[in-house]
Amino acid sequence: MKTSDWISVKTFLPPKEDKKWASSDVVWVYDEECGQRKGYLDDDNQWCDANECWYLNHVTHWMPLPDDPPKEKNEL
């Protein structure tokens, strides 16, 4: 992940399914109080920590999670 990959929450938010109770996919977020962590937007557009189930109230930026690394031949 590069610094240029960060997206301001003022510019764009992660997409959510077009359903009333949909949350966004898990993304990498930067919260001014908690630092970097995995999070998501819930159905009320509130940022939530993806691991601890608490609200993140100071998210300024986010980015998609990177793809998993490719499997090595001996791991198949």
User: pLDDT tens-digit profile of 12-65?
Assistant: 999 987 777 789 999 999 999 999 999 999 989 999 999 998 999 999 999 999
Residues 29 and 17 sit within 8 Å (Cβ to Cβ): no
Given this model, what pLDDT does residue 3 score? 67
CA distance 54 to 68: 26
Q: What is the pTM of this model?
A: 0.82
Confidence class for position 1, pLDDT limits 50, 70, 90: low
Looking at per-residue pLDDT, the higher value among 10 and 22 belongs to 10
